[in-house]
Structure 1
Amino acid sequence: MSTPSFVLAVLGLLFALKTQILPIGGLTSVNHYELNFYEKLFDIFQHLLLPTLVLTVIAIAGLQRQMRANLLDVLRQEYIKTAIAKGLPTHKVVYKHALRNAINPLITIFGFELSALLSGAALTETVLAYPGLGALTLEAARKLDINLTMVTLMLGATMLIIGNLIADLLLKYADPRIKLGVT
């Protein structure tokens, strides 16, 4: 969470250079058009793996810290102490009672993470030379392309709305107290 995405991207780039397991830069390899369909898919997957890993590790680190804090807070509640005193197994108390109440803020934060990936992706894609939406947004802003900048900002806003919609639907599933309805 405290490691900037571009630092992790540089570390991933160094890893890819030293091990030569993953390709560096670009969306596809030079000989992409000579490959058959499945080889093309694998080639795109290989090029997408490093940027995806960098962005995922950054996002998961923040979510993990938030979940830990929520769970520790819930485990101090009286009803958890009562459940343990009644003789329920610890794993059942944690997974059935504590986790259910601790996961709600995490789901809400997850809704914001979808659009936050766009901002972290800009630096990550620039460092890894991946032609993605974040790098396109930075290039459009640098060249003062107002139309493309507005489209990418609208896409970010749409991702925020979709992320919050998904989070609301997940909250409805996770918390039976929440009812969906029109008011």
Structure 2
Amino acid sequence: MLIYILKRMLGMIPAMIAISILAFTVIQLPPGDYVSTYAAQLAQSGETVDSDMLNSLRDRYGLGENVVVQYFKWIGGVVQGDFGQSFEWNQPVTELVWGRMAMTALISFVTLIVMWSFSLPIGVYSAVRQYSAVDYIATAFAFLAMATPNFLLAILLLYVSTMWFGVSVGGLFSPEFVNAGFSLAKVWDFITHAWIPIFVLGTAGTASLIRIMRANLLDELHKPYVEAARSKGMPEMRLILTYPVRVALNPFISTVGWVLPALISGELIVSTVLNLPTAGPLLLQALKSQDMYLAGAFILLNGGLVLIGTLISDILLAISDPRIRLS
């Protein structure tokens, strides 16, 4: 098992290198650079553009050098824990990134756990009680939830809470707790706010996982090994949980590889709508202003979270299915 995990972790290294090249390519695609954008903003506001100052900024950040040189300068700093300097905020990127990424990772992983907690039992029950009232309700919910965009659901929640209840649901903390130190009151305040983005992000994913689990289990329920175990008098619930559910879990668990990146990408829009202190709004602003080091750090760390999700999926598959460990 340890060798299996080590192989998967070693396989993440070339993938991470490819993600870094892709991230750097993406932030280099728009014409110009941060200095050009900054000069255009100064010109629009009617301020004088100092060409010497702009050239000094280009030299300071290496923007006048070859793209390959810029990449290796950037990735060399990343390896040493230095993500560079944010042009717009005039702060080290490390100071800006970690708090936002921690919130993004926390919301994404909690959402994933909530999705599994609901989709697994509902999917199993829908398959075992096929065409029952619960099955029809779960199917209707799944189709409706998968058809509703996350940002639209977030806007509806904002409207209903504000217009009907007079309660603001934006952010992850109340104003008095934003800069407060750690306390049980702050944790409770976070819980009262966090359920909203978790609900918005997890709705479509839960619906999709319910359909996946139901379809997988229906394929297994009528196979010969299930009928053989049933003919030997094994209790029905024990039979279902011991054999077909365990086999049907494999495709269900493997969805972590795409559910986690879907959560992270969906978080960008939802966090902007709900005004969350996560990576989404800051990444969007960095891309708009071509703050290359800040944008590159977010894209790189998001890619790292995707690889971590895939690794978690591989480990859970190895735990649930001995055949994977054997191979």
- Same fold judged by TM-score > 0.5? yes
Q: Aligned in 2, Cα 1:160/1:180: closer, same or farther, shift over 3 Å?
A: farther
- Residue 6 in 1 paired to residue 138 in 2? no
Instruction: Output one character per residue of 1:21-76: Cα deviation in whole Å (capped at 9) or x when no partner.
Output: x6422343222357983322222332322112211222222111111111111113
- Superposed counterparts of 1:74-153, under 5 Å: 74-153=220-299
What is the match of residue 26 of structure 1? 171
Question: After TM superposition, which residue ranges in structure 1, 4 or more long, deviate above 4 angstroms?
Answer: 33-36
The 3-state SS of whatever aligns with 1:87 is coil
Q: In structure 2, what residue type is equivalent to 1:16? A: S
Post-superposition offset of 1:147: 1.9
User: Identity across aligned pairs (percent)?
Assistant: 38
The answer to whether the Cα contact below 8 Å between 1:121 and 1:135 also exists between their aligned partners in 2 is no
* Greater length-normalized contact order (CA 8 Å, ≥ 6 residues apart): 2
Gaps (5+ residues) in structure 1? none
Q: Which amino acid aligns with 1:31?
A: E
122-131 or 135-144, larger mean C-alpha shift: 135-144
TM-score (norm 2): 0.50
Deviations 1:129-171 (A, max 9, x none): 2221122222222222222222111112111111111111111
Report what 2:216 is aligned to.
70
Please say if residues 217 and 248 of structure 2, whose CA atoms lie closer than 8 Å, have aligned partners that are also in contact. Answer: yes
Q: CA deviation at 1:124?
A: 1.0
Per the normalisation by structure 1, the TM-score is: 0.85
Amino acid at match of 1:12: L
Cα 1:34–1:63 change in 2 (3 A) is closer
Aligned match of 2:202: 56
Q: How many residues align?
A: 180
- For structure 2, the residue ranges without an aligned partner over 5 or more in a row are 1-145
Alignment root-mean-square deviation, CA: 2.3
Tell which deviates more after alignment, 8-17 or 148-157.
8-17
CA contact (8 A) 1:16 1:24 kept: yes
* Aligned 8 A contact 1:118 1:133 in 2: no
Which residue in 2 is equivalent to 1:157?
A: 303
Q: Work out the CA distance in 1 between the residues paired with 2:318 and 2:299.
A: 29
Q: Following the alignment from structure 1 to structure 2, what is the Cα–Cα distance between the partners of residues 148 and 73?
A: 47
CA change 1:90–1:149 in 2 (3 A) is same
Q: Which has the larger radius of gyration?
A: 2
Change (3 A) 1:118 1:175: same
